[in-house]
Structure 1
């Protein structure tokens, strides 16, 4: 029985759902493939270091451009995997202890921009307004948002006092 098969059995014994087991195993396999591609030799859990895991997280962030939530799910799965390995004497050290989950607050997330096509569609809908006063007002608001990069909440809080 391989480490993966033993890990699946371990997760099943601890009452994890089928979907959770699949995701945990998939995360381990992704790490294994990345490691084999990078190092050029077989994956041996006892040879993995915290630096390797930090490099893997960095790879997921910069090269794969994965969302923080996806990276955190994979890191959590790897932490459970190494707990299993240490508990069953497949590995002597747990390199995941030095790997932290990524804490991303909504304020730290990069703003999302509309593509040029979506901007055009948005402006087209505003221009369809039949009431000329509302059309001019809405167009001014939308253009202000698009050109200045303002969020809806920022436009709402604008004060037009002269």
Structure 2
């Protein structure tokens, strides 16, 4: 297995793996065309990566976000090899993310009311703070609920950590409704596609976008998680980067 494949096999998010593969293959092509040799990741220097950064900015005229994505892929692979290169990427200005209002969120849920599965998924992102990748990796055994409380074991989150997330009444109610309706199949994925297999991240992203279109709001899985973070901060909680939302405890 080559270093790129070896590194990508450690990633839990298929979307991240796909983007990083593309970025690393682009770098490999550039390196080979400019040096006449293949990349030796153990000998790669900061000067070479800085030259690549300059090429991306001046020749290809990529946005700061696109350049930083490519640098992130290179840094991550090198970390896998136990190496650290100090190469700064271009500064990028990220517009503040606006949380949906209560009325907008209500319209989004109204658009999804015909599907118990989709309602449960929306609840997990907006009211429990799960990432889209975490939602699609949930198994039946990750759900613990009784009449008055509930917990979710979330695996493979940021940093490949496992944590337990508390479920409020609205989330528990939507999960129960989905579990009562869920097809009885051998697959133990919590959320199933129409074919009976696991959902893909893109399925959820498209689903959220479509309900947003019907409801007349701009909605993505990330904006739904932002609702949870915003409300937690308003209530005096802490909102860390890694999921880092209040009452989400690493095991």
TM-score (norm 1): 0.54
**Counterpart selection for 2:42 from 28, 39, 46:** 46
Residue 6 (1) aligns with residue 6 (2): yes
C-alpha distance after superposition, 1:67-114 (max 9, x if no partner): 11100111111111111122xxxxxx43x2x101211348xxxxxxxx
Measure the CA separation in 1 of the matches of 2:43 and 2:76: 17
Query: Which consecutive residues of structure 1, in runs of 5 or more, have no partner in the other structure?
Result: 87-92, 107-162
When structure 1 is superposed on structure 2, of 54-63 and 27-36 the one drifting more is 27-36
**Counterpart selection for 1:60 from 53, 56, 60:** 56
Residue 100 (1) aligns with residue 96 (2): no
The equivalent of 2:167 in structure 1 is none
* Residue 65 (structure 1) shift: 0.7
Higher helix share: 1
The equivalent of 1:22 in structure 2 is 18
The equivalent of 1:145 in structure 2 is none
Measure the CA separation in 2 of the matches of 1:99 and 1:84: 17
Measure the CA separation in 2 of the matches of 1:35 and 1:54: 12
Rg comparison, structure with higher value: 1
C-alpha distance after superposition, 1:35-55 (max 9, x if no partner): 111100121112211000000
Measure the CA separation in 2 of the matches of 1:99 and 1:46: 16
Measure the CA separation in 2 of the matches of 1:101 and 1:65: 14
Give every structure 1 segment of 4 or more consecutive aligned residues whose post-TM-superposition deviation is greater than 6 Å: none
Higher strand share: 2
Query: Which consecutive residues of structure 2, in runs of 5 or more, have no partner in the other structure?
Result: 95-251
TM-score (norm 2): 0.36
Maintained 8 Å contact 1:68/1:102: yes
C-alpha distance after superposition, 1:98-140 (max 9, x if no partner): 101211348xxxxxxxxxxxxxxxxxxxxxxxxxxxxxxxxxx
Measure the CA separation in 1 of the matches of 2:70 and 2:88: 12
Maintained 8 Å contact 1:10/1:84: no
**Counterpart selection for 1:84 from 80, 83, 86:** 80
